[in-house]
Amino acid sequence: MTRTPTPLLRAPLLRAPLLPALPARIVAAVVLFAAVVFGVLAPAGPAGAHGFSSVVYAHVTSSGPEVVHAELGLEYDLVLVSVATSEHDDPFHTQGQQAWDDGDFPGMVSAAEEHADALGSYVFDRFSVTSGGRPCTGELDPTITVDMQDEVPYAEVTADFTCPAAGHTESGHVVTSTLFPDDESFVRDTKTIVTYDVDAKQGSATLDASQPSFSTEQSAGERFWEFFRLGAEHLLSGIDHILFLVALIAGSRRLREVVFTASAFTIAHSITFILAALGVVSPPAIVVEPLIALSIAAVAGWYLWRLWRRRSRADELVVGEHGHFSLDRAGWTRLAVVFGFGLIHGLGFAGALGIHEAFSWQLLVSLLVFNIGIEAVQLAIIVIVFPPLSLLRRKAHRVSLWVTGAVTAGVFVMGMIWFVERLAAG
């Protein structure tokens, strides 16, 4: 017997006008004006989520319990101003700044090597190693190089730390970094990313003002928490990533649509995040940052266009006869767009972490934990924002249209402002 297919059920279209014509125009103008004012006065600059901070790279190894070798990567311009300020070495600043302005890498190297004593004094005052609770004595290698990392010149310096004789290492080695603190007023925050192979133990650690030290005896749980916290803090401090998520949530009508969209974003940014952090891909920040801003405006603009055209059916989830959810063509298109933008955001996450080392399982675990921290905050934002928005849509549909429209209008304007500012800054 031939069975007649049951037609798919769709949510009914909203036939009535969304809003009265005249008030809609007036309110829309007010909303747009408020969004513009907010965008202009907002404290976030062209790279608000990733700027005004520095990353120090440290690779620490040991050939035995008494000698620890440290390779440090320091932003060259910060070295200039910080050393000159703390050591009163104005000739170093003058000579190095001239080479910096001219893009003269050999000149930058010459300036650093000629003033290696001042540089070493600054570094050893803020980067130290102890063994068994006793300080190790640092000696700077006079050979210094300068290369590019994330489109920024970095001074590569190396030092050997001579530690107390064996027998005092029962607590392992402790590495402390307070390089480029915020009280020097040049940066808002500095994170030191450490990869180490010391005391027959390998791993990664992240140090900042709130946690400036780590021990090679730290537990797996402590290592997990360090990178989890770093990932969570990065998303919380990245207003551009948060606004992108808010735009996704505001444009989603059902929880499963949010889940599908967030999953596409998560999978995409996880791919590029790991590839970029491992050095497989390395696009310049001058390209990534404007694209992140443009993605924010695009997602918000998509939803605003749907409101304007009153085509809510385009991205509807379709309910079949057995209650299963599937996506129509427009829904799959939206997921593809979000996936593409997720790839771009992943590059931004990797730039914030700043690990560019050869592959190791320890490093991969650290990257995954960092990503888990990002996902935890992303999930928290969805849990906080979507339920009240969903309730508002059920209880006061017209009001919800105004709320989501106003929010996404503000997000759209912010995204466009950041896009223009980041292009100009680039």
The DSSP result for 196-260, as a single string, is: EEETTEEEEEEEBTTB-EEETT--HHHHHHHHHHHHHHHHHH-HHHHHHHHHHHHT--SHHHHHH
The model's pLDDT over 117-161, given as tens digits with 9 standing for 90+, comes to 999 999 999 999 988 888 999 999 989 999 887 668 899 999 999
> Considering the entire predicted model, what is its pTM?
0.58
Q: Which residue has the higher pLDDT, 358 or 120?
A: 120
SS3 38: helix
Q: Are 133 and 41 in contact (CB under 8 A)?
A: no
Confidence band, pLDDT 50/70/90 cuts, at residue 13: very low
Contact 150, 287 (CB under 8 A): no
pLDDT tops 50 at residue 90: yes
- What is d(CA 236, CA 245) in angstroms, rounded to the nearest whole number? 12
State the amino acid at position 315 in one-letter form.
Answer: D
Average pLDDT, the chain: 74
The domains of the chain are located at 21-46+236-425, 54-218
pLDDT, mean of residues 33-62:
55
- For tokens 């385009």, what's the residue? 314
Distance of CA 172 to the CA centre of its chain: 32
Asked if residue 199 has pLDDT above 60, the reply is: yes
At residue 18, the 3 state secondary structure works out as coil
Going by pLDDT thresholds of 50, 70 and 90, the confidence category of residue 354 is: low
pLDDT at position 356 is 53
Nearest to 204 by CA among 190, 219, 194: 194
Checking if the pLDDT of 34 tops 50, the result is: no
3-state secondary structure of 195: strand
